Amino acid sequence: MNEFDKVQFWTIEKDYSGQRIDNYLISHLKGVPKSRIYRIIRKGEVRVNKGRVKAEYKLTHNDILRIPPIRVAEKEPAKDISQFSQVKQIEASIVFESNQFMVINKPSGIAVHGGSGISFGVIEAIRALRPKEKFLELVHRIDRDTSGCLLIAKRRTYLIHFQNQLRHRKMNKEYVALVNGHWPKATSRVDQALKKTERASGERVVLVDTEGKASKTNFEIIKSFAQHTLVRAKPVTGRTHQIRVHAKYVGCPLLGDDKYSDTQADRVILSQLKLKSFLLHAQKLRFTLPEDEQVMQIEAPLPAQFKRIIKMLGNE
């Protein structure tokens, strides 16, 4: 027997007001195929305030939903991941939390969500750590090997507000990166379109291509070393691998970036620094809150490894 074997009545909370009923059911009826969800809506088995509705119906606060009995395949009990070392590491990385959202200083090497052979990521860990929270969703994503600010919404209204800021380029992100070579002082902005493609090996990469999507990143030099540069990157747009590809375009790819840099040529310095992946840190995140447009800026401290390598390069 599963949790959907009996008729249920759900009262819509304020946070879900305005959401389409099909999207609401897809996110709440875990394990039920989308085709089955659309079928029960179409046949009138799902009722809102005792009446039939269409899939595009937008929910209102205090709507009463009738959910019919739905048989789904029995699943194995979910694993308790709350005691995993990585989960505890993520809990220790929370830099800000309110009733509406939280910001994680995501450690490098941990994915933002599970999948493709990864049993769990940050969002699954946070859900395990906060089992009483009804809503926890990623506002955006950062690469697995990128560390730093990751914003998670605890209310749907906040998720929509934050994503609108991202869409309209009103959320400011600031990164710190260690690149190969001497960054040219005259290059403070890279304005090159980016396009996703696939290599013959099947590896997915992003390339500078005039047929791609418009992409802009502002750069500034923080500190120069003998053979490397510490730079600050402020992406204006938010394309996949944007900072990494724009840095490569300038001729200063991220040290240790095996996708966009020649790590074979760097193997000696990578071995000396004991560096297994690139150093890219989402240091600052600036956004407004929905109620009063209050501006918030969250800063995530540099990881210990990043600080260690900066110190080592400074002593060369």
Delimit the domains of the chain by residue range. Answer: 8-67, 85-162, 171-299
CATH entry 3.30.2350.10 includes domain 85-162: yes
85-162 and 171-299 share one CATH topology? yes
Weakest-pLDDT range from 9-18, 91-100, 299-308: 9-18
Whether 285 shows a pLDDT value over 50: the answer reads: yes
Residue showing tokens 């969500």? 113
pLDDT at 85: 75
Q: What is the mean pLDDT of residues 3-19?
A: 85
Long-range contacts of residues 155-159, Cβ cutoff 8 Å, at least 24 apart: 155/15, 155/99, 155/100, 155/101, 156/15, 156/16, 156/19, 157/14, 157/15, 157/290, 158/100, 158/101, 158/290, 159/135
Mapped onto helix, strand or coil, the DSSP state of residue 102 is strand
Confidence check: pLDDT of 134 > 90: no
- CATH topology for 171-299? Pseudouridine synthase (3.30.2350)
User: Over the stretch 226-242, which tens digit does the pLDDT of each residue have?
Assistant: 999 999 999 999 999 99
Looking at domain 8-67, what is its CATH homologous superfamily?
RNA-binding S4 domain (3.10.290.10)
Is 160's pLDDT higher than 50? yes
Catalytic residue among 15, 22, 63, 143: 143
Which pLDDT score is estimated for 238? 92
Among this protein's residues, is 143 annotated catalytic? Answer: yes
Looking from the CA of 221 toward its CB, the CA atoms found within 13 Å total: 14
Give the mean pLDDT of the chain.
Answer: 90
Highest mean predicted confidence (pLDDT) among 33-37, 82-86, 90-94 = 90-94
Question: What's residue 309's pLDDT?
Answer: 95
Residue 140's pLDDT is 95
What is the mean predicted confidence (pLDDT) over 5-22? 88
Q: What pLDDT sits at residue 1? A: 40
The C-alpha atoms of residue 52 and residue 189 are separated, in whole angstroms, by: 54
Which runs of consecutive H residues, i.e. helices, occur in the chain?
21-28, 34-42, 85-91, 122-129, 156-167, 242-250, 267-273, 304-314
- Note the pTM of the prediction, 2 decimals: 0.81
**Can you give the pLDDT at residue 313?**
93
pLDDT score of 75: 53
